[in-house]
Amino acid sequence: MSGDHDHDGAHDHSHLSDMDARIRALESLLVEKGYIESEAVDEIVELYETKIGPRNGAHVVVKAWTEPEFEKWLRDDATAAIHSLGYTSRQGEHMVAVFNSDDTHHMVVCTLCSCYPWSVLGLPPTWYKSPPYRSRSVIDPRGVLEEFGTVVPESTAVEVHDSTAETRYLVVPQRPAGTEDWTAEQLQKLVTRNSMIGTSFALSPEQAT
Amino acid sequence: MSGDHDHDGAHDHSHLSDMDARIRALESLLVEKGYIESEAVDEIVELYETKIGPRNGAHVVVKAWTEPEFEKWLRDDATAAIHSLGYTSRQGEHMVAVFNSDDTHHMVVCTLCSCYPWSVLGLPPTWYKSPPYRSRSVIDPRGVLEEFGTVVPESTAVEVHDSTAETRYLVVPQRPAGTEDWTAEQLQKLVTRNSMIGTSFALSPEQAT
Amino acid sequence: MNGGQDLGGMHGFGPVVSEPGKPDYDVENYHAHWEPRVMGMVVAMGACGQWNIDISRHARESISPAEYVTFPYYKIWTEGLEKLMLERSMVTAEELTTGEMRTPPITVKGRLKKADVWTALHSLGGAANRPETRKQKFKVGDLVHTINTHPTTHTRLPRYARGRTGEITKILGFHVFPDSAGNGKGDDPQWLYQVRFTAQELWGEDKNPRDTVTLDLWEPHFNSA
Amino acid sequence: MNGGQDLGGMHGFGPVVSEPGKPDYDVENYHAHWEPRVMGMVVAMGACGQWNIDISRHARESISPAEYVTFPYYKIWTEGLEKLMLERSMVTAEELTTGEMRTPPITVKGRLKKADVWTALHSLGGAANRPETRKQKFKVGDLVHTINTHPTTHTRLPRYARGRTGEITKILGFHVFPDSAGNGKGDDPQWLYQVRFTAQELWGEDKNPRDTVTLDLWEPHFNSA
């Protein structure tokens, strides 16, 4: 069996180099046809590497942690509250913020494709789009959480949000204890991408140092 | 895309030659360990090529077409009726015969694996075990039947039997018109394997010549 | 388990028949030299008495769905056989890779000899019925509602027939219960019935109102509707 | 469609996390040079205005389940993009194979230029809500029962949530209905709700009684329970 797996591994590698060539050919064809500009593709890739990523979401979360009025706005109308900070990019047109508490732990999935709040978290990680996560998160969320090292007590409800519409979910993790006098800048370092998907908690002060 | 399909095709071929070597090694290991004898494996393969196949089922069907008492027995206790003809081999321990009529057309599938009445039909054809047949036969039986050239009128019910237990289903096709004076030997040529799975009708006299 | 084997009702696998209308499509059962050897070895290994048919089904369905829907069927059988032997220390992974024996065999119940093949195949030793230790709860004509359960272990109640209402159409006997036997928990025999569901109940109102699907299900799979 | 994309509730795909407990697992979004190019091209091609997001989802889920569960995700996007362009004669199969233009382009609505990327991405042009032409039928707290339907076409009601009872927990707006728009039949906007199901209702009695799953579903997906 292991021999067979090696073989499949080799197959994957040839897939990848095939894909490099295939995608180069595709791009040159679409440019020649006038449908796209390579410079625009460069710019899109660049923006999602540098400007549109989980720091946007961390900004939203920390503002909710530190400003009660913003927290209320985010609960009542997440779309307006998030757009007010300039995070209006695509896959963020309709936002719902869900707040973790001792009673309920929220996590987000898209079982049918890869819906994800790009405007506040950037592009989804590979695991978020993978069959293991998409299949198991709705039927065995606690098992998935444990793989991430996230143990939710039996007495806390786990609520999974399957993103079947254009609504995009942002999880607001619980603010870690011992951060009462931290600045917004310090707090943002505790807000990981996974904590805003709900597969992890926000980092503790100890983890962040 | 076609380039990619070619690639997958090549992959399949290497799979097969890999499998030849892998299975040779496996057999030699199991023989060396004393778990199996290659001559017994030869004999099993030989019996399913020459003795245990759809001619058994055709014998049963024609007997039911031509002997009303046997037909009744087959309806009431298919296991006993079929075993009485010596067809007691494995995957035929518990038999149910279903009779096609103008009212109901029966067809058989195993959605969960490949259960099939080996004792009367031999080994299942590849398509019977394939994802297309197993997925579609229960949700779109008429579409599957049409691919086999088998058009069942809307006014005739299609009843699909999903072989989820050790019960094995034999379909008794309708006796074709114009065969009233045919001998049992002639009739058997009309009873194809697929007609006993229910994906086809028995051949007409014209088709058989 | 809701694995790659639970195919009923899926879309997108394409046509069944590549040569439409051919009278007895796909006469050959094998498509490579190694395939009949796998068939014969799997049958022969049964004589060793180290597993039952339900355990061997569960071994096959436990491979990854990605493998299940892409492997040739006898390759699935090969994976299942190797898994069963590895679990029981009948072989080691190294032996499977090299094809050479490095460890002694385990003690098995028997070895099938050529002269005994015909008799063994016709012995009815694989019969799944058991002495009836209680009465059946249901009769033909009863309406039953299947349970909605999603075990990670072996079950013969497929996803498409869970939480659905059907009618008992035959009493099939008192049979080994695969949802127990396939998980190494003993025969636990149960009454087995043929249950008929309308296509509309299973798939929705757009199906032909005459069409039906039957499944053979055991008493623990349903309740009175 | 019940295709390879409808993954919710399947077993056997293995672990999500290969490095358990790593604080922010899998920081990289790409695993090969071609992947960001596909992402960027798919976004850029949106400006041509030849399809909506639901049609592009349906193109991706229409590949064989065997491919869907084995291909890298951006390869699924590539297959979907090529299918959409072929269907609309934007490219030919020969052009895709050779990478060389042999036929003139079709007329498209626009081409995205580098200077316009930021504005285009932030335009909210992809908003799915539409002017409300009627009142919603349901209110928060209503119990609803989803339909059991198995269309071969695009739907956003996954198999695991069909024929189940849940509670309306939010009214989300009057939105484009993907089960129409994804099949080229127009926006047909419908009221959209968040519906909460207990894990026990979806998966059986052995689940934690506190746990729930919400889906965002449109009025045609359910009836009063």
- List, for residues B131-178, the tens digit of each pLDDT value: 999 999 999 999 999 999 999 999 999 999 999 999 999 999 999 999
Q: D42 with D81, same domain?
A: yes
Closest alpha carbon to C28 in B16, B49, B17: B49
Residue D8 lies in a domain: no
Residues of chain D positioned with their CB less than 8 A from the CB of A163? 216
Q: C101 with C148, same domain?
A: no
D220 touches chain C (CB under 8 A): no
Distance (Å, whole) CA B169 – CA B185: 24
CATH of the domain at D201: 2.30.30.50
A114 is catalytic: yes
pLDDT over threshold 60, residue A1: no
Residues of chain B positioned with their CB less than 8 A from the CB of C208? 142, 154, 157-158
Q: C46 with C116, same domain?
A: yes
A195 is catalytic: no
Domains of chain A, CATH where assigned: 16-52 (no CATH), 54-208 (3.90.330.10)
D62 touches chain C (CB under 8 A): yes
Adjacent-strand bridge partners of C214: B161, C196
Distance (Å, whole) CA D118 – CA D135: 36
A45 touches chain D (CB under 8 A): yes
Residue C69 lies in a domain: yes
Distance (Å, whole) CA C101 – CA B29: 6
pLDDT over threshold 50, residue B9: no
State mean pLDDT over D110-123.
96
Q: Tokens standing for A122? A: 């950037």
Question: Tell me, what's the pLDDT at A6?
Answer: 35
Q: Tokens standing for D206? A: 């052995």
Of residues A28, A101, A113, A204, which has the active-site annotation? A113
Task: Express each pLDDT in A142-175 by its tens digit.
Answer: 999 999 999 999 999 999 999 999 999 999 999 9
| Band (D165; pLDDT cuts 50, 70, 90) | very high
Distance (Å, whole) CA D191 – CA D76: 30
Distance (Å, whole) CA C95 – CA D77: 41
Distance (Å, whole) CA A188 – CA D82: 41
pLDDT over threshold 70, residue B8: no
Q: A 156-185 residues with CB below 8 A of D? A: 156-167
Question: Tell me, what's the pLDDT at A4?
Answer: 36
Question: Tell me, what's the pLDDT at A9?
Answer: 38
Radius of gyration of chain C (CA): 20
Residue D32 lies in a domain: yes
State mean pLDDT over D26-37.
88
Task: Express each pLDDT in D57-102 by its tens digit.
Answer: 999 999 999 999 999 999 999 999 999 999 999 999 999 998 999 9
Residues of chain B positioned with their CB less than 8 A from the CB of C122? 88-90
Q: C115 with C72, same domain?
A: yes
Q: Which residue has the tokens 């030793």?
A: C125
Residue C4 lies in a domain: no
Question: Tell me, what's the pLDDT at A16?
Answer: 55
Residue D131 lies in a domain: no
Is the separation of the CB atoms in B171 and B107 below 8 Å?
yes
* Interface confidence (ipTM) of the complex: 0.94
Distance (Å, whole) CA A44 – CA C134: 70
State mean pLDDT over A56-75.
98
| Band (C159; pLDDT cuts 50, 70, 90) | very high
Nearest beta carbon to residue C62 from set D12, D61, D70: D12
Is the separation of the CB atoms in A39 and D94 below 8 Å?
no
Adjacent-strand bridge partners of D165: D145
Task: Express each pLDDT in A11-20 by its tens digit.
Answer: 455 555 889 9
Of residues A110, A137, A163, A200, which has the active-site annotation? A110
Adjacent-strand bridge partners of A65: none
Distance (Å, whole) CA C7 – CA B138: 10
- Residue C195 lies in domain: 143-224
User: Of C86, C121, C156, at which residue does a domain stop?
Assistant: C121
Write out C63-106 in H/E/C secondary structure.
CCHHHHCCCCHHHHHHHHHHHHHHHCCCCCHHHHHHCCCCCCCC
Q: C104 with C155, same domain?
A: no
Phi, psi of A206 (to 5 degrees): -65, -45
Question: How many CB pairs below 8 A link C and D?
Answer: 83
| Band (B1; pLDDT cuts 50, 70, 90) | very low
Distance (Å, whole) CA A138 – CA B1: 33
C118 touches chain D (CB under 8 A): no
A110 is catalytic: yes
Q: C34 with C70, same domain?
A: yes
Q: C99 with C163, same domain?
A: no
CB atoms within 10 A of CB D199: 25
pLDDT over threshold 90, residue B12: no
Percent of chain B at pLDDT exceeding 70: 92
Distance (Å, whole) CA D113 – CA D120: 10
pLDDT over threshold 70, residue B128: yes
Task: Return the amino acid letter for D59.
Answer: A
pLDDT, averaged across chain B? 92
Count of the separate structural domains present in chain C: 2
The two counts, helices (H) then strands (E), for chain A are 12, 4
Question: C28: distance to nearest CA of chain A, Å?
Answer: 26
Question: How many CB pairs below 8 A link A and B?
Answer: 15
B114 is catalytic: yes
Chain C residue whose CA is closest to A135: C2
- Determine which of B36, B103, B188, B190 to mutate to test the interface with C (most C C-beta atoms within 10 Å): B36
Q: Do B4 and A18 touch (CB under 8 A)?
A: yes
Q: Fill in the DSSP letter of residue C212.
A: E
Residue D132 lies in a domain: no
Q: C113 with C156, same domain?
A: no
**Orientation of helix B38-50 relative to helix C34-45, angle to 10°:** 110
Question: Tell me, what's the pLDDT at A5?
Answer: 36
Q: Do C147 and D204 touch (CB under 8 A)?
A: yes
Of residues B28, B101, B113, B130, which has the active-site annotation? B113
Q: Do D43 and A132 touch (CB under 8 A)?
A: no
Residue C1 lies in a domain: no
| Band (B57; pLDDT cuts 50, 70, 90) | very high
Closest alpha carbon to C199 in C9, C61, C65: C9
The number of angstroms, rounded, from the C-alpha of A203 to the middle of its chain's C-alpha atoms is: 16
Helices (DSSP H) in D62-172: which residue ranges? 65-68, 73-87, 93-98, 117-121
CATH of the domain at D85: 1.10.472.20
Q: C38 with C116, same domain?
A: yes
Phi, psi of D164 (to 5 degrees): -125, 155
pLDDT over threshold 90, residue D11: yes
| Band (B3; pLDDT cuts 50, 70, 90) | very low
pLDDT, averaged across chain C? 96
Q: Do D37 and A27 touch (CB under 8 A)?
A: yes
Residue D134 lies in a domain: no
Question: Tell me, what's the pLDDT at B62?
Answer: 98
| Band (A209; pLDDT cuts 50, 70, 90) | confident
Residues of chain D positioned with their CB less than 8 A from the CB of A76? none
